[in-house]
Amino acid sequence: MFMDAYLGEFVGTMILIILGAGAGASINLNKAYAKGQGWLYVAFAWGMAVAFGVYVAASFGAPGHLNPAFTIAAAISGMIKWSQVIGFIVAQMLGAFVGAAIVVIHFYPHFKASKNEAEGNTVGIFATKPAINNPVFNFLSEVIATFTFTYITFNLGNFTTGLKPFIVGFVIFAIGASLGSTTGYALNPARDWGPRFAYTILPIPHKTVAHWEYAWVPMCGPIVGAAIAAFLFNLQ
């Protein structure tokens, strides 16, 4: 049972990144039909990526977190056992890495056709970066956005059944449209670190820098924001 849940978190997070980072590649890389599409395209794509990732994870009996920050918050709120946290986080990180690797394979000719960051070959396809580089406010943006997402989702109850994964997806879309344009709204350390690591080590043509100096923000901000949401939820 537990192994199925860990596998579900792995596969669900992999699907999340295939669809989400795939949208990032589509709007950035040369000669992709969707190149140049705007922010709402990105926000909607990530919303649907989360929805379908949750559906897939739930089919394995997993809780559908797909997100280490959410997993930690769920443990704080007593929704899962603390003994499950490390296993879920490892599965999520590995799933995110594999999902990013699949996106690299799928778009490999387009990476070859995009010779530098100005032509769209950027770590931003896979990971987040700030619109304005201000570490304190970038951190606060991730805290606020992740708090909002986690608190709303906790109040949905079991969000893995029926149409609720789509509701979660539309929450992601709404947060992307409203709060996400400052940092790219990671909300999720796995969604950022797994693909960022893939961009770092995989032989991607013409790749540019992975900007690990920023990576603490999408790691720490979501964990803090989700934890605050969990503590507030516990007071209800």
160 in helix, strand or coil? coil
Tens of pLDDT, residue by residue over 17-70, are 999 999 999 999 999 999 999 999 999 999 999 999 999 999 999 999 999 999
DSSP string of 19-53? HHHHHHHHHHSTT-TTTT--HHHHHHHHHHHHHHH
Tens digits of per-residue pLDDT, 118-143?
999 999 999 999 999 999 999 999 99
- Rounded to two decimals, what is the model's pTM? 0.96
Dist CA 11 CA 6 (whole Å): 9
pLDDT attached to residue 2: 59
CA distance 15 to 35: 22
CB 107 within 8 A of CB 202: no
